[in-house]
Amino acid sequence: MTTIAEPRSYQVITYGCQMNVHDSERIAGLLEAAGYVRAPEGVQADVVVFNTCAVRENADNRLYGNLGHLRPVKLAHPGLQIAVGGCMAQKDKDIVLARAPWVDVVFGTHNIGSLPVLLERARSLAASQIEIEEALTRFPSTLPTRREAAHAGWVSISVGCNNTCTYCIVPALRGREVDRRPGDVLAEIQLLVDEGVQEVTLLGQNVNTYGVEFGDREAFSKLLRACGRIDGLERVRFTSPHPAAFTDDVIAAMAETPNVMPSLHMPLQSGSDRVLSAMRRSYRADRFLGIIERVRAAIPDAAITTDIIVGFPGETEADFAETLRVVEASRFAAAFTFQYSIRPGTPAATMPDQVPKQVVQERYERLVDLVGEIAWAENRTFEGRTVEVLFAAGEGRKDAATNRLSGRARDNRLVHVAIPEGAERPRPGDLADVEITYAAPHHLNADAGPTNLRRTRGGDAWAAQQAAAAEPDAPRPAAVRLGLPTRT
């Protein structure tokens, strides 16, 4: 009697930005299309894939630390395979195997689609495989995708970057900007909406330079307006724009398109013009503040978030004071703050006047304190107000203990919502109105529970996904789908 082998299981571990998160969804989709199944929580997977980041030093340390922890696990489980992909794999290539020779596959940012074949080749040849493409050969949205959320999806509108920021190695790893045609982007969004997706986030290294490849300076604002004409698409977000290319037609499209959300993530990096020049950031503080002013004039309730680097080479106390000044004036809803770390291969790595670690730490703590104070003050303005919340799985970590569910307001603020005993529970993807009763620095609370609960197609898609997961032989849920055909 022939026995059928159990499918091999996988786990994907992701470091870095939203682009990497979306790439990990593609990695999962590829593996499931090849017959792998997702490993249950707490169970050792047969294949562990690390999708890496090369922007921050601690990502390197975390990767090699985790690879070290897996070495004895692999010795105890000879069939275990380990793959390393993403930006660090693209950058380090042979270094990964030199430091961790027990890794089976190393693949780059441009050849995610090769992973299943490389894993099989490594198994059959009992030898590590490296495949790093130097340039993009096909847009990655042609690949299968396993979405983490049934009601929300990422959509890449471009890959690569044409900027030359002195601290950043991403352009060298992901290449120059390549734009998708608007028709392909909108076709993917329509397919997602047909599957129950209500919220789409448009992704690009610099989303607002979209169109540079086909010569349309207003392509991004036109794309936002086109998203507004898609029935069933409740919310549209995008990340991240570049201040140097942020134009008034984009502000107008945001303000005039109802399903484009009143949230904007725009990296500042530094408030010092001298440091911005050294970073090769082609804008200055006054331009940045001018954009903030025009956005708030057109969209008064817009929540603006940012990225800031502390301790860039040569940063003085006066430079840092300028950053604090711009932060104070901008009134950010939140800021992702980073201590500068040397990234080999970037111009900043060899710049003189590297700032001592203790100075960077002290400035970083002052910045975090200021950002927190401003964010809390901004959040407190919501107390007593009613906001619309789109519920999402995984947003709150204490939901079971506190009988709360969590979601995002239209401006992307995190909201924890108490669910009264016996009340109908919203599903991930459902919408409701809630009154904010308490504001914390990083979230809002709604203790009276939801009102005007709307059961949505996104909630239905989540329910179908859960039912399919409970029955392994059931048809594959919509959150796993094949990629789109595309023009090349």
Q: Does 43 share its domain with 65?
A: yes
Residues 121 and 151 in one domain: no
Split at pLDDT 50, 70, 90, the class of 91 is confident
Residue 57 banded pLDDT, cuts 50, 70, 90: low
Nearest to residue 184, comparing CAs of 137, 237, 226?
Answer: 226
Give the residue-averaged pLDDT of 303-310.
97
Per the structure, the count of domains in the chain is 4
Structure-token match 């007593």, residue found:
384
Sequence length of the chain is 488
Asked if residue 239 and residue 281 are part of one domain, the reply reads no
Identify the pLDDT of residue 358: 96
Last residue of a domain, one of 261, 282, 311: 261
Whether 481 shows a pLDDT value over 70: the answer reads no
- Better-predicted residue by pLDDT, 453 or 148: 453
Using a CB cutoff of 8 Å and minimum separation of 24, what contacts does 57-66 make? 57/341, 57/342, 57/343, 58/341, 59/15, 59/16, 59/88, 60/88, 62/15, 63/15, 63/88, 64/99, 64/100, 66/13
Residues 240 and 172 in one domain: yes
Structural domain that includes position 302? 265-380
287/274 same-domain check: yes
What CATH number is given to the structural domain containing 442?
Answer: 2.40.50
Strand-pairing partners, residue 310, are 339
Q: Is residue 484 part of a domain?
A: no
Query: Which CATH number goes with the domain that contains 24?
Result: 3.40.50.12160
Provide the pLDDT confidence category of residue 93 given band limits of 50, 70 and 90.
confident
- Does 478 reside within a domain? no
Co-location of 106 and 157 in the same domain: no
Stretch among 47-56, 323-332, 442-451 having the lowest mean pLDDT: 47-56
Question: 254 with 345, same domain?
Answer: no
Task: Judge if pTM exceeds 0.95.
Answer: no
Of 33-47, 205-219, 474-488, the poorest mean pLDDT is in 474-488
Q: Are residues 23 and 112 in the same domain?
A: yes
Does residue 245 lie in a domain region? yes
Residue-wise DSSP of 380-415: HTTTT-EEEEEE-TTS-S-HHHHTEEEEEETT--EE
- Domain CATH for 280: 3.30.750.200
pLDDT band at 478 (very low <50, low <70, confident <90, very high): very low
**Residue 413 is assigned to a structural domain of this protein:** yes
The pLDDT of residue 488: 35
Residue 206 in any domain: the answer is yes
In a domain, 475, yes or no: no
Give 466: exposed, middle or buried? Use CB within 10 Å, 0-12, 13-18, 19+.
middle
Residues 119 and 209 in one domain: no
In a domain, 1, yes or no: no
**352 and 335 within one domain:** yes
Average pLDDT over residues 44-68: 84
In this prediction, residue 233 carries a pLDDT of 96
Domain finish residue from 233, 261, 289? 261
Kindly list the distances between the CA atom of residue 129 and the CA atoms of 98, 115, 156, in Å, as whole numbers in the listed order: 13, 10, 28
Query: Does residue 482 lie in a domain region?
Result: no
Among residues 358, 380, 402, the one where a domain terminates is 380
CA pair distance 310, 312, nearest whole angstrom = 6
Residues 254 and 167 in one domain: yes
Average pLDDT on 271-281 reads: 97
> Residues 17, 122: one domain?
yes
CATH number at residue 226: 3.30.750.210
Q: Flag whether pLDDT at 56 surpasses 80.
A: no
